[in-house]
């Protein structure tokens, strides 16, 4: 049930402390969400163009457990924690081999074109829900 | 007691939804922390060179309340929530005028050169603590 | 005639080599262009909303002369090299005190909503041209 | 002889114009350089730790030909244009299918730990040179 997405750490991701800059983990997990959604057969571009729906992050809780470094091969693991009419809660962790470096819980909402929260279309909700 | 740091939103900060990309708020509040620390008379470069101490983010809780847009003038407000021997907890919010767009609680730790948590030097701790 | 825009170097700007990551100079000079345009009394948001015109970078030539570091106070200097019916050529350099760290020549074009190159409106062109 | 590196465009790469932000192409081609160097059997981390040598960008000429968009699958193509005792010149282009979106010529130099230009070790130079 866990979606895994590989990430290589490049120069752009590091800071002068020689480790991955803390904000960049949010970039990593967003890439993983995009791939997870695509993997579920959901086309975000079409969803926006045809139904005027976009996903937006409402809340992030993030724990920085150990630093990632240049050239590391990481894996982002994404699990669905829960899906309600209006919200999706994901656990997204970043691992280097057997070591968990970063742990997060991310709450997503669906928004209309105008930025107003909307209910998830049932078909979409069905795809997002773990079986 | 609150430290305020102004931020202008540029192209680089936005994404295709026309709003500030969610990871970039962590960049904004990190700039504010740097200015807050400088304002307290703490020289991070010297602290690292002379005492081998760096600050690292251990945990972030972030709520995205409303989007910021290109050209917005924002203010990051930083308040000390608590300082212990090894940890600093800050509340850092981003405002546009009277509207709060982003709210966070950030836990910092002090690390040695080797990435090991260390106690805050008392002189440093005194400066960080609200009077 | 030169527009000057100050930049402070933050953690986010550096990489593991301890210096400003090379792509970030393009972010710095783009911030300076935004401020330069605003300073000329041009409202980019209105220009886009009302006339459907956006500026886009067509070409950059960039020389990296010396590295900038964390906490440096830099200045981006922007000079108009030339304005034609469809193009604006700028010289944009980054300085730390008396030392020039970065030199660039940037060619901008005006694009329509659909991404098609358009002629600069004469009123706009007049503002951009050095007297 | 051309090295090809795939890039997926994510939210983080775009700006409010709905296209890839111009500075991010420099991130894309830097990722490709890292993979190209790795592919040649050169370990940048070891090179730095053992010989104190890092590569730095000295000059970039970049032409923006057409915009890339969210979810695009791009390919960075890297070709060696020339290698001298102290410099490496690369052509690095970004393609979407048959369309070239971005073209650049990048000049790299080798630097010592102290940031002083040094000659490329002959063994390294041999690997970088096209046969």
Report pLDDT digits (tens) over A82-98. 999 889 999 999 999 99
Q: Do B45 and C70 touch (CB under 8 A)?
A: yes
Q: Do B34 and C44 touch (CB under 8 A)?
A: no
Residue numbers of A annotated as active site: 15
Listed by start position, the domains of chain D span 3-126
* pLDDT tens column, D22-61: 999 999 999 999 999 999 999 988 998 898 898 999 999 9
Q: Do A30 and B23 touch (CB under 8 A)?
A: yes
Touching A: which chains, 3+ CB pairs < 8 A? Answer: B, C, D
Contacts of A24 in chain B (CB under 8 A): 23
**What global pTM score does this model have?**
0.96
Contacts of D11 in chain B (CB under 8 A): 15-17, 21
List, as one string, the DSSP characters of C47-70: HHHHH--EEEEEEEEEEE-S--BT
Cα atoms in the 13 Å half-sphere on the side-chain side of B21: 25
pLDDT at C131: 59
Question: Residue C61 burial by CB count (10 A; 0-12/13-18/19+): exposed, middle or buried?
Answer: middle
pLDDT at B18: 87
In B, minimum Cα distance to D18 occurs at B16
CA distance B62 to chain A (A): 5
CATH match of B3-126 with 3.10.129.10: yes
Residue numbers of B annotated as active site: 15
CA distance A28 to D39: 24
DSSP character at residue D11 = G
Determine contact, residues A16/C68, Cβ cutoff 8 Å: no
Closest partner residue to D14 (CB to CB) among B16, B23, B70 is B16
| Count helices and strands in chain B by DSSP H and E runs | 3, 6
CA distance A10 to A24: 11
In A, minimum Cα distance to D72 occurs at A45
* pLDDT tens column, D99-123: 999 999 999 999 988 888 999 888 8
Beta bridge partners of B20: B14
In this structure, chain D runs to a length of 131
Q: Which of B66, B96, B74, B81 is nearest to B27 (CA)?
A: B74
Q: Do C70 and A12 touch (CB under 8 A)?
A: no
Q: Which of C112, C108, C109 is nearest to C51 (CA)?
A: C112
ipTM over 0.90: yes
């Amino acid at each position: 049930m866990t979606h895994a997405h590989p990430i290589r750490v490049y120069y752009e991701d590091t800071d002068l402390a020689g480790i991955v800059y803390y904000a960049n983990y949010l970039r990593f997990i967003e890439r993983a969400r995009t791939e997870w959604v695509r993997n579920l057969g959901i086309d975000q571009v079409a969803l926006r163009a045809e139904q005027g729906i976009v996903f937006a992050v409402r809340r992030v809780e993030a724990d920085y457990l150990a630093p990632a470094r240049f050239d590391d091969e990481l894996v982002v693991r994404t699990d669905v924690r829960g899906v309600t009419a209006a919200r999706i809660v994901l656990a997204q962790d970043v691992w280097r081999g057997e070591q968990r470096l970063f742990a997060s819980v991310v709450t997503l909402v669906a928004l209309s074109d105008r930025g107003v929260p909307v209910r998830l279309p049932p078909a979409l909700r069905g795809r997002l829900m773990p079986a």
